[in-house]
Structure 1
Amino acid sequence: MNMFKFFSRIYRIFKSILTRRFIYGYFYNLMCDIFSVKDKYIFLESHHGKDFGGNPFYIAKYLANNPNFKDFHLVMVGPFHRKKWLLKQLNTKKITIIKPYSFSYAFHLATCKWLINDTSFPLYFNRRSEQKYLNTWHGTPLKALGRDVANETFSHISNIQRNFFHSNHLLAPNSYTEKIILDSYMLRNIWEGEVIRSGYPRNDILFASRHQTLSQNQINIAFMPTWRGNFADQKEASLKLIEELKLLFTYLDAQLPEHITFWVRLHPMVQGYIELSSYSRIKCFPDTCEAYSHLAVCHALVTDYSSVMFDFATTLRPIYLYTPDEEAYRSDRNMYMKLDELPFQRAENQQSLLKLLININSIVNFSLTKKYSDFVDKFCAWDKGDNTRSLCNVFFNKEHEVDVYQCKGEKNKKRVFIYTGALQNNGITRSFKTLLSMINLERYDVTILADIGYNLDQSDIYFRSLPKDIKYIPYKSSVYIGPIQAVKAALVYLFKKDWGNDCKILSKVWKNEYRRVVGDAKFDVFINFNGYSWKVALLSLGIDYKKVIYVHSDMLGEIASNKIADTRLLKLSYQSADTVAVVREGLETTFCGAIYDYSSKVVYVPNPLLLDVKEKSLALIETAFLEGNTAPDYANVENALVSKKSFRFVNVGRFAPEKGQIRLIKAFEKVWIDNQDMQLFLIGGYGPILNQIRDVIKKSRAQNSIFIIVGSENPFPLIQQMDTFVFSSFYEAIGLVLYEAMQLELPIISTDIPGPSELLQEGYGLVVENSTDGLVHGMLAALANKIPQKRYDFVQHNMYALNQFYKCIETSNINE
């Protein structure tokens, strides 16, 4: 074990666990271990406990006044300064009010049987099998959700999606919302809960006011805008919004007539930051009633992009949209509909909004247009006035008075869950992306466990580009366990050299962690395509269905190079796997002979190959650089390519010791002394010895003929400018770059190592001694035009690779 990496990992673990969130998480798990679930306790939370409101409030009010639930105890999350108000509203003694994200919160979340939320419970939440969870969500979406968001996709998905996976029931107020939630959070085919098709409980009071006669002498207009901005700069966006709203309120207060009151209810992110008491016509929603109770007696609604418009439409009253920043907002969030499609009048500045508001006749004598009526039919058809009762009958009593849709996986379609790694610019990532593009999605339902611990920006771009029928679950290791389990697991991890039966302790911990991550999502096979990750090695202990792990390299060589921090985890990965997929025949031999023999589980699954290398090589040369034509080495490389006389060698690989770039530089220098028209190009992603390689070049006599390129995902425009490809690795599984060089019809030199040597000895290139002198011999042969070449059948290769991949999924081992 590499001790530096080991203690670095221990340090990172302890640093992460000494946070408030983790402490509550440990306490939560301890409560789960100690206390049983209380059958008649109902836990209700709205908008992370910022207030008592929304659907959970109206459910609580119904339960508190229903004799059928007189023996039930309500636990409600919210601010203590609103405690008296809530007790008065619900008029029941069987209620406990708790602060959000406290020890009391964690205790009740662990022990209440019935859980109701309109957003999400914290990251440490892990629904117990005896608990029932209803997520009502908090609005029909106009703004993009989940994977449909334009930026920062992972932050909009992870904990919300995870909560949905844990829920038994989701509430959909219309078919439009149902489709968006199932698709944008990627629940289809893997989540098998129930969707309750019913209007929102909070809309009952709006529906009841539909035929209520309102005063024509005093006009009440509600203003309920959403929060605008992005999560990366919440504070800055909130401050900007506050200033904009202050200007609007000052203008309206000076212009509105006395018989119009402009009632304001701001988003929780900016609520309380604007003092309204100095205005005469602008007032806060009264704090004596819940927001929708007041909304029900308002003549009209003004909003911007908030889902409240879909709720208020059930009153059949006027709705106005105030959207001074539509283009900027749309670019940040995306929207499912254009505002022009909505049946509401719009104002894009203060003056036009005022003009709409003072047109009293259009408010008090409002009549539905055909477009508004169609809108109501589409989005409010499931509002019946008794939504709360119907919902509670389904959730608590399993009495289906409304339509309930049971989600299921598609028949005859295997559900594949595949871990990618961190999507670094390397051969494993290219192999994964190529494989993913080839899988038959009519036969397999594919979900990716997306590692978001590294390369977040690149990962975000890639996952947003995926076809909609490929799902993904963002994952960043944050293990929440009870203190007793933590101590046991730590003792095993720190002091047991051979885990043996002790892995049962680890299995229990990681079974809990796996369930925390994916809830009740269902899969048929898990594939650890990366094959290196320690956290996924442990996470896979919690998986009780078929497991496959890939081997992409000589893992004994990786251990010798200190690239594997803990050999026990690697051994454990192979022990717990049902199938081990090796990308080269015989790749398992050294590890099996020295550490653990998993040969009975092996399936040979070659990596599929890119078939568009030539097409990609036609792109502009600057696309080969990670930073384009602003890259530090771009000008030097561009000048070097001008010479038509130079003979150019190229090496492509991560800048790492096992890739042999340093000895390649030394070999090049020896040949260069007598052949100074030569050039050497080293292309790779960032690696641990990049700076060391730069230092070696600076000391070389041939330094002006050697170039380093930190490459993009498309190095081929540069590679196709070369004369010979040099593969200088000390060990390798096979090396995808060899096949890519073949597609560009470059002569190939490789050191004599298992994998590349077997391939090239069939006439596809020259194999040389695995040494600096061997590389010298190869480069001299290239200069003399003595490198063998022949065409490779890439189509046949990919057909075989894909069939072996399917075999790997469908069978338990090679003998089946």
Structure 2
Amino acid sequence: MIEKKELIVRKNRDISTNTEKMYFTNKSFSQVVDYTNYYEILEVRDNTIFYESFHGKNMTCNPYAIFKTLIKDPRFSDFHHVWALNNLNDCPKEYLNLPNVEFVRVNSEEYLQYLASCKYLINNTSFPPYFIKKEGQIYVNTWHGTPLKTLGKDMEGSLGQHKNLMRNFLHTDYLVSPNKFTIDKIIDSHDLRGIYNGQIIESGYPRIDLVKEDNNVLANKLNIKTDKKVILYAPTWRGEVGNVSGEINKIIRDMRKLKSVLGKEYVILLKVHTLMQKYIKQNKLDFDVVPDKIDSNELFSDVDILVTDYSSIFFDFLATKKPVIFYAYDREEYERDRGFYLNLDDMPGAICSTIESVIKEIKNASNYQDVFNEKLDKCINEFLYLEDGASTQRVIDTVFFENKQHTYSVKNDKKTIVMYCGGFLNNGVTTSAVNLMNNIDYERYNVIVADKSEFDEESSKNFMKLNNHVKKLYRVGSMNVSLNELESQNQLFAYAAEQFYKKGPMNYLEEDIITMYKREFKRMFGTVDIDIAIDFSGYVKFWSILFAANDISKKAIFQHNDMMEEYDKIVDNEYKHKENLSVIFPLYNKYDHVIAVSKHTRNKNKAGLSHLVVNSDQKMVYVHNSINYQYVLNAIASVEKVQVNNKEYYIEKNGDINQILDGNAIKVPDTSKFNFVTMGRMSPEKDQIKLIKAFAEFHKEYKDTELYIIGTGELEEEIRSTIKSFGLNDQIHLVGQLDNPFPLIQDCDCFVLSSNHEGQPMVLLECLILNKPIVATDIPGNRSVLENGYGELVENSIEGLVQGLKKMREVKPTFKKFDYVEYNKSAMEMFYSYIQV
């Protein structure tokens, strides 16, 4: 092993005191720095295999089955085997003193070094977020069971809970398949189809080879010598890390019942989660508990009856053709909360809801083959058809001897686009991104949308609007950095504003920053072949640098607004975007195209930024936002109006009328009034306050008018205060953020947009789909949509808006009809023209 962290710090030059202090006081940070250094300086160790199972919990499952075969194979006598465990006291005695077997603690210094250098990596779940498979390493992921329960993105719960597992899969060279059902679920639930560069090994499960062996675990490892039959009760973990007692109490009651009724005839083994094992030990309960270090498959040859619920180990046990009993007392709740791929009723075993019925089925176990023979044969044919005892050998032949006889690929020949779309806040960038995802031709492109790993309610709801064809990748963990790279980045960010004001184009990413972000790209995307990278946001420096620093055939960055106006935008007495944009603007030179969302916006941005951009005439282009007109039209049709207490409200068709009684429904505008409506984030550039002042002036003369404001944002309290100051609380309605704003817009007489700067407002395009009259300030973005007779453009001032509102109320002008089908076709053709590879 090489020198430890103190040497690494000395090798990094010009490190600030704060950075060095963080290295020595922040364990997770120092771990990442150490691994990064080992990753960069260590060479790959031939003939060395690194194993990890269940995040170091034990030495079991498929990695153990492969190890157990290799350690006996004379062809591998010169191989060194390294096992990662959380607790080195769990090292099996039979392997502890072998000279070619080594045990390391997960996340230790030795662990980091071996993970960064062993040629062969074998895991049944995932390595930590800092792991990157380096050139020359071969990563085999075996997974750990045929899934009855849902996986990956199919699981209920928070978005991206599978993020590190998906990331790991993208690094693997081989995924081991026990059957087609399992591998298809893994591939599709982790968005791997079409982009996964590795191979599927159609081998069966190495761990099921162990089921067919006579291991005599009961006597040799559990010290239970008996002539009784053996029952193994293996319930799924349902508890929470901080609350074990609630779940364990039921298991204790059930175990006591089983022992009292069946204890004279059977040995009853209990296999439960580690936390439950600790609870049982601490409370000195008299149960025969199977420790984590005992491999279940080795134990199965001693087991006569398996009692489980939803654990995938029952598929392995089916290889014995012995009785399985499903104790599914919370089946309906569990299926609702977690979800199943398969119907439990189709499985070969009795389904019980009480411990009494479990006992009854155990007593009838001799009839198992007669009752469940047909279902058993069907399951074996579907899920265990590869289990002939040679699964381990097939994996070994593939991985170590490059025998591709049992492999296949799920990669396609489409071009792959990766996009960052801006965090999915309630804004026009999000709407534009969602629309684009609904218009892209998925026959031609794989599309990966990469984003943050944690979503709030707002961004989560928007993220889930993405087309189902989109592959969603959630960034997990932090950047792998060396200390000198971090210092270079800190200096870049600190002096970016000063650099920005220098005249002339800049190409200012230092080599170590490029190295740092190339490594990060590999950490995130593994071995995926990315053809096109699109920073669709254009506001977040991390993503802009990430794409800029990497060698990708085609790169584009979008401008959704007048970027110099955005640069100078102040919210709560602070510049909102200056820090990021100071870094991003010079990066335009690293992109093939800088794409504004309208011609007028492109021209404005070119005038303000061309001094920074080489070949700005060719590089700075524009592409109109695409639209999802069918979604807008369907949104109108999805709502009905319901009258309650002489007032009309919008609710979804067949919706719950209680949402009206609870105050969660929007009132339909009074048709005796002339109703104006606006929609947008409550922020300075939208300038709803200017509109409110204009409406207040206008309303003095036109009392039969009202204004609806859709949206939320940082200026909401100031907007409320302004409305109150004019005494217009009954005439100006703040309706908040609406999932479906289009019925309200449709029922108002005129849409108004008071923005100070825009790129190409999505809301104006959506209003044109509805053929809604529009008044908007005459700024480049609005002009790009409404010029040539599609709406009323007015001076960007209170007086200009007043005159526009008057004209709409008095004259009610008609405007040119918008051909949204032709517009959208043209917008997508423009988009494709700039991403061709």
Same fold (TM > 0.5):
yes
**Match in the other structure for 1:641:** 669
**Match in the other structure for 1:46:** 53
Distance in 2, Cα, partners of 1:579 & 1:125: 33
Q: Does the Cα contact within 8 Å between 1:747 and 1:788 map onto a contact in 2?
A: yes
Compute the displacement of 1:369 (Å): 1.0
The one-letter code matched in structure 1 to 2:724 is K
Give CA-to-partner distance per residue, 1:219-256, whole Å, 9 cap, x none.
Answer: 01112222236xxx6544x4432222122112212211
Q: TM-score, normalised by structure 1?
A: 0.89
Map residues 57-76 of structure 1 onto 2, 5 A cutoff.
57-76=64-83
Compute the displacement of 1:774 (Å): 0.8
Compute the displacement of 1:370 (Å): 2.5
The verdict on how the C-alpha distance between 1:299 and 1:490 changes in structure 2, with shifts beyond 3 A counting, is same
The verdict on how the C-alpha distance between 1:506 and 1:212 changes in structure 2, with shifts beyond 3 A counting, is closer
Answering whether residue 568 of structure 2 is matched by residue 553 of structure 1, we say no
Distance in 1, Cα, partners of 2:52 & 2:722: 61
**Match in the other structure for 2:232:** 222
The verdict on how the C-alpha distance between 1:110 and 1:285 changes in structure 2, with shifts beyond 3 A counting, is same
**Match in the other structure for 1:297:** 302
Distance in 2, Cα, partners of 1:252 & 1:670: 81
**Match in the other structure for 2:119:** 113
Distance in 1, Cα, partners of 2:285 & 2:776: 79
Moved more, 308-317 or 269-278: 269-278
Q: Does the Cα contact within 8 Å between 1:207 and 1:384 map onto a contact in 2?
A: no
Compute the displacement of 1:210 (Å): 12
SS at match of 1:208: coil
Moved more, 500-509 or 105-114: 500-509
Compute the displacement of 1:171 (Å): 0.7
Q: Does the Cα contact within 8 Å between 1:140 and 1:307 map onto a contact in 2?
A: yes
Distance in 2, Cα, partners of 1:254 & 1:224: 18
Answering whether residue 788 of structure 2 is matched by residue 781 of structure 1, we say no
Identity of aligned residues (%): 31
The verdict on how the C-alpha distance between 1:579 and 1:628 changes in structure 2, with shifts beyond 3 A counting, is farther
**Residue in structure 1 matching 2:352, options 338, 347, 351:** 347
Distance in 1, Cα, partners of 2:359 & 2:19: 56
Answering whether residue 584 of structure 2 is matched by residue 570 of structure 1, we say yes
Compute the displacement of 1:409 (Å): 2.1
Give CA-to-partner distance per residue, 1:483-538, whole Å, 9 cap, x none.
Answer: 23222322333246437344433221111111101101122212222222222112
Answering whether residue 614 of structure 2 is matched by residue 606 of structure 1, we say no
Distance in 2, Cα, partners of 1:404 & 1:310: 23
The one-letter code matched in structure 2 to 1:219 is K
SS at match of 2:46: strand
The one-letter code matched in structure 2 to 1:654 is R
Give CA-to-partner distance per residue, 1:747-795, whole Å, 9 cap, x none.
Answer: 2111111132354342222221111111111112122125342211111
Distance in 2, Cα, partners of 1:252 & 1:212: 22
Compute the displacement of 1:585 (Å): 0.8
The verdict on how the C-alpha distance between 1:88 and 1:759 changes in structure 2, with shifts beyond 3 A counting, is closer
The one-letter code matched in structure 2 to 1:306 is S
Compute the displacement of 1:354 (Å): 0.7
SS at match of 2:277: coil
Q: Does the Cα contact within 8 Å between 1:415 and 1:522 map onto a contact in 2?
A: yes
SS at match of 2:537: coil
Compute the displacement of 1:279 (Å): 6.1
**Match in the other structure for 2:4:** none
The verdict on how the C-alpha distance between 1:615 and 1:428 changes in structure 2, with shifts beyond 3 A counting, is same
Compute the displacement of 1:333 (Å): 1.3
**Match in the other structure for 1:657:** 684
**Match in the other structure for 1:520:** 527
**Match in the other structure for 1:93:** 99
Distance in 2, Cα, partners of 1:445 & 1:120: 25
Distance in 1, Cα, partners of 2:151 & 2:774: 49
SS at match of 2:92: helix
Q: Does the Cα contact within 8 Å between 2:549 and 2:590 map onto a contact in 1?
A: no
SS at match of 1:580: strand
Distance in 2, Cα, partners of 1:207 & 1:660: 73
Map residues 255-404 of structure 1 onto 2, 5 A cutoff.
255-268=261-274, 270-275=276-281, 282-285=287-290, 289-359=294-364, 361-362=366-367, 369-400=373-404, 403-404=406-407
Distance in 1, Cα, partners of 2:714 & 2:21: 25
**Residue in structure 2 matching 1:694, options 716, 720, 737:** 720
Give CA-to-partner distance per residue, 1:393-421, whole Å, 9 cap, x none.
Answer: 32122234x511134323xx222222222
SS at match of 1:27: helix
Answering whether residue 409 of structure 2 is matched by residue 406 of structure 1, we say yes
The verdict on how the C-alpha distance between 1:458 and 1:725 changes in structure 2, with shifts beyond 3 A counting, is closer
Compute the displacement of 1:325 (Å): 0.6
The one-letter code matched in structure 1 to 2:805 is M
The verdict on how the C-alpha distance between 1:12 and 1:535 changes in structure 2, with shifts beyond 3 A counting, is farther
Can you give the 5+ residue segments of structure 1 that lack an aligned partner in the other structure?
1-10, 812-816
Distance in 2, Cα, partners of 1:615 & 1:124: 44
The one-letter code matched in structure 2 to 1:199 is G
Alignment root-mean-square deviation, CA:
3.2
Q: Does the Cα contact within 8 Å between 2:140 and 2:173 map onto a contact in 1?
A: yes
The one-letter code matched in structure 2 to 1:736 is M
Distance in 2, Cα, partners of 1:490 & 1:440: 40
Distance in 2, Cα, partners of 1:724 & 1:12: 56
SS at match of 1:659: coil
Q: Does the Cα contact within 8 Å between 2:50 and 2:122 map onto a contact in 1?
A: yes
SS at match of 2:278: coil
The one-letter code matched in structure 2 to 1:118 is N
Q: Does the Cα contact within 8 Å between 1:422 and 1:453 map onto a contact in 2?
A: no
Distance in 1, Cα, partners of 2:459 & 2:608: 36
The one-letter code matched in structure 1 to 2:589 is Q
The one-letter code matched in structure 2 to 1:641 is P
Compute the displacement of 1:277 (Å): 8.8
Distance in 1, Cα, partners of 2:664 & 2:263: 67
The verdict on how the C-alpha distance between 1:727 and 1:428 changes in structure 2, with shifts beyond 3 A counting, is same
**Match in the other structure for 1:617:** 636
**Match in the other structure for 1:586:** 600
Distance in 1, Cα, partners of 2:836 & 2:445: 11
Can you give the 5+ residue segments of structure 2 that lack an aligned partner in the other structure?
1-17, 220-224, 500-505, 570-574, 641-648
Q: Does the Cα contact within 8 Å between 1:210 and 1:314 map onto a contact in 2?
A: no
Distance in 2, Cα, partners of 1:49 & 1:805: 47
**Match in the other structure for 1:8:** none
Q: TM-score, normalised by structure 2?
A: 0.87
The verdict on how the C-alpha distance between 1:46 and 1:599 changes in structure 2, with shifts beyond 3 A counting, is same
Distance in 1, Cα, partners of 2:418 & 2:784: 33
The verdict on how the C-alpha distance between 1:438 and 1:114 changes in structure 2, with shifts beyond 3 A counting, is same
Distance in 2, Cα, partners of 1:223 & 1:67: 38
Answering whether residue 705 of structure 2 is matched by residue 678 of structure 1, we say yes
Distance in 1, Cα, partners of 2:126 & 2:429: 35
The verdict on how the C-alpha distance between 1:177 and 1:18 changes in structure 2, with shifts beyond 3 A counting, is farther
Give CA-to-partner distance per residue, 1:264-309, whole Å, 9 cap, x none.
Answer: 11134533322499666x4112688533222221112111111101
Distance in 2, Cα, partners of 1:694 & 1:533: 30
Q: Does the Cα contact within 8 Å between 2:204 and 2:386 map onto a contact in 1?
A: yes
Distance in 2, Cα, partners of 1:76 & 1:149: 30
Compute the displacement of 1:623 (Å): 5.7
Distance in 2, Cα, partners of 1:212 & 1:285: 10
The verdict on how the C-alpha distance between 1:269 and 1:399 changes in structure 2, with shifts beyond 3 A counting, is farther
Distance in 1, Cα, partners of 2:329 & 2:810: 70
Map residues 127-142 of structure 1 onto 2, 5 A cutoff.
127-142=133-148
**Match in the other structure for 1:5:** none
Compute the displacement of 1:323 (Å): 0.6
SS at match of 2:385: coil
Q: Does the Cα contact within 8 Å between 1:41 and 1:114 map onto a contact in 2?
A: yes
